[in-house]
Amino acid sequence: MKEWSLCNKGRRQSPVNLEPQRLLFDPNLRILHIDKHRISGTITNTGHSVIFTADNETSSAYGTPQIPVNLTGGPLSYRYRFHEIHVHYGLHDQFGSEHSVEGYTFPAEARHATAQCFIQIFGYNSQLYANFSDALYRAQGIVGVAILLQLGDLSNPELRMLTDQLERIRYGGDEAPVRRISVRDLLPDTEHYMTYEGSTTAPACYETVTWIVMNKPIYITKQQLHALRRLMQGGPDHPKAPLGNNFRPPQPLLHRPVRTNIDFRNKLEKGGKICATMYKDVHYKGRRGWVMWGKKDNIL
């Protein structure tokens, strides 16, 4: 389809393979902030994916208005309003992650581990655009936060609030309410991330997304993963195929910079990989003498 031409011809497509030696340390990257207050919404089996969508702040399903959750800081120049969460996973343990590091699935600090599935948190630029649909194809329109899920004995509590509803959305078109979930508490226990400019990973592949890829996973149990794999694409009369394997393969990076707030200098001192830095020695001569701006000009 013509409107999907970016999926084949676009030059800022996602996901990508993140190569550690090509990461650019940017000391100006800030901590990502997500409002911590809880919101309600609906989890849906769309027949293609599992999506949690927040209730409209003026028409909550529970009868009371809710305050929107905002995403700020990080690499973002604007305020983004949380809109939805997508869940992607493979039907087999070897597959399921979109973003990868050096050809391996995340996390970077345990890069030989196998990813089981991942979630994407999406928000739209509420300072420039009226809603998610309007922002989807507009410049600086969307932020996507990618979080890997790894198998563990204990699940992230907020993730459990979503997976507890999977039996109610087994078939395509099914939906169920989710009450008082904290989007902020879905983040892993780290301030470190990688970021680049890319696209949505489903058609029409709009190149309007600032991606933030968290450097650590959160955890999902084997039981939760099996519950995901029992979901079907079709209805109860014609269930079609299982819902999984709903992810896109890595796309060419094509010279796009991938920045990180991970300072690799300590790793270099310990024999780690070299990573470029955006630290610079910049001196400005003022009336009262020299003023130093920044720190070191070196390669990590």
Segment 202-238, tens digit of pLDDT = 999 999 999 999 999 999 999 999 999 999 999 999 9
User: Distances from the Cα of 287 to the Cαs of 284, 290, 291, in angstroms?
Assistant: 10, 8, 10
Q: Are 221 and 164 in contact (CB under 8 A)?
A: no
Residue 32: C-alpha distances to residues 29, 43, 147, 265, 280 (Å): 9, 25, 13, 22, 24
Asked whether the predicted pLDDT for residue 1 surpasses 90, the reply is no
- Per-residue confidence band for 20, with pLDDT thresholds at 50, 70 and 90: confident
C-alpha angle with apex 65: 64 to 71, nearest 5 degrees?
Answer: 140
Model confidence at 65: pLDDT above 80 = no
Q: How far apart are the first and last CA of the chain?
A: 45
Quick one: average pLDDT of 117-142?
97
Residue 175, CB half-sphere, CA atoms under 13 Å: how many?
Answer: 12
β-pairing verdict for 193-198 and 209-214: antiparallel
pLDDT band with cut points at 50, 70 and 90 for residue 273? low
Mean pLDDT of the chain: 84
pLDDT tens digits, 239-271 = 999 998 888 889 999 999 999 999 877 655 555
In tens, the pLDDT along 159-203 reads 999 999 999 999 999 999 999 999 999 999 999 999 999 999 999
Please state the rounded mean pLDDT for residues 115-126: 89
Q: Which domains does the chain have, with CATH numbers?
A: 2-262 (3.10.200.10), 263-300 (no CATH)
Q: Contact at 8 Å (CB) between 120 and 149?
A: no
pLDDT band for position 104 (cuts 50, 70, 90): very low
Question: What's residue 72's pLDDT?
Answer: 99
Position 298 scores a pLDDT of 37
pLDDT of residue 122: 98
Determine the Cα–Cα distance for residues 197 and 83; give it in Å rounded to an integer.
Answer: 19
Check residue 50 and give its pLDDT.
97
Give the angle 116-120-121 at the CA atoms, nearest 5°.
145
Which residues are tagged catalytic?
129
Model pTM? 0.84
pLDDT given at position 109:
36
pLDDT of residue 58: 60
pLDDT (0 to 100) of residue 56: 84
Question: Is pLDDT above 90 for 40?
Answer: yes
- C-alpha dist (Å) from residue 185 to 34, 149, 300: 9, 14, 32
Q: Which percentage of the chain shows pLDDT scores above 70? A: 77
Residues in a beta bridge with 282: 293
State residue 140 phi and psi, 5-degree precision. Answer: 55, 30
What pLDDT does residue 31 have?
98
pLDDT digits (tens, 9 = 90+) for 274-283: 556 665 544 3
Distance CA 143, CA 32 (A): 11
Q: What is the pLDDT of residue 105?
A: 46
Residue 272 above 60 pLDDT? no
